[in-house]
Every structure is written in C-alpha cells, then in structure tokens.
Amino acid sequence: MVNEKPNYITIAHVGIMDPSSVSLGMSKVHYTNAGIKEKGTFSINMPSVRMVKETDYCGLVSGKKMDKARLFKTFFGKLGTAPMIEECPVNMECKLVKTVDLISHDIFIGKVVATYCDQDILIEGAVDLRKSQPILFSMLDRSYWTIGEKLASAWNIGNSLKNKK
C-alpha cells in the first residue's frame, strides 16, 4: 500500500533468509519503499508463465505515475494492509521484521505470516512446482525462463558418495 492505494512492483533482487523469512532488495529510488516502511507489511505474489506480460509491465512503469493495481483483482488477508493479486497462483503475506540499509538499496526482511494459493496447484496440500509454472528470471541475459525437468531428489542422490574414498 502506497498513499493508501495498492501498488505492485517487479523485484529482481530477492532472497530466502530462513525457513519462514524472505528478503526484497529494493533500490531506494522506488516509489514502493515508503509504503512498506509506513505499513510494516508487504506481499509476495508469484506469477505464472501466463502472466509474463503483466509481470514485466509492473517493472517497466512506476506507481508514481500509473495505477498498476488496475491490471489485477486485489484481495487482502489477515494483516489487512498487504494487497495481494488474485490471478497469481501463490501469494505470501509478510510482516516487515528488519530493514537493512545497503547504501543504494533497502533490504526488507519479512516473516511470512500466511500463504494463499490456488487449489489446482496443490498436491496433497502442498504447492506443486510444475503446476505453479513459475517465471524464472536471469539478470545475465535480462530474460524470463521456465523451469525444466526434475533432475534428482535432494538429501538423497549424494548418499552414493558417502562411502567413497
């Protein structure tokens, strides 16, 4: 929420901090930073590949000039001040817990307090990566990519090296 209106921005610099905390690295020139600082909340909305145009658009124009929320159906969750996008298959509602000042960027560290997702991407109550069809981003070639094939199971395939010298 910025100036009492929902606003969405595409963020390239993100991170996972621990099992329930995430980070957004946002250049201080952005319009959205003030809203996160004021409300102490934000959301992460994971678009699927079919939303690639809207996703890119939100990184091309500023909320200072354009009402980007008009592109989506907005809903609110338990925090009440973190707007979320109904069209996104996964939405995470976050409470700001720490802001790290990195000269040109504000790093907003948030605790995920609730996750909302489409029923049809769930398998046994958990989000299925393939079904959610995430958009991957690479700064190297300034491009969006899809996810490929499952390669191996983690905490598993490495066992074969355990007894080797």
Q: Would you tell me which residues interact with its own copies (CB under 8 A)?
A: 12-19, 21, 23, 25, 27, 49, 52-61, 71, 98, 100, 102-105, 107, 109, 126-129, 135-138, 140-162
Q: How far is the CB of 75 from its own copies (least distance, A)?
A: 21
CB 24 within 8 A of CB 42: yes
**Which residues partner with 14 through β-bridges?**
24
Comparison of 76 and 122: residue with beta carbon closer to its own copies: 122
CB count in 10 Å sphere of residue 85: 24
Q: Token pair 């069809």 is at which residue?
A: 133
Q: How far is the CB of 80 from its own copies (least distance, A)?
A: 25
Show the tokens assigned to 139.
């700064």
Residues whose CB is less than 8 angstroms from the CB of residue 125 and which lie 6 or more positions away in sequence, other chains included: none
Comparison of 27 and 80: residue with beta carbon closer to its own copies: 27
Comparison of 4 and 156: residue with beta carbon closer to its own copies: 156
Q: How far is the CB of 44 from its own copies (least distance, A)?
A: 13
How many whole angstroms separate alpha carbon 132 and alpha carbon 118? 9
Dihedral class, residue 17 (left if φ above 0, else alpha if ψ from -120 to 50, else beta): alpha
Q: How far is the CB of 74 from its own copies (least distance, A)?
A: 17
Comparison of 61 and 80: residue with beta carbon closer to its own copies: 61
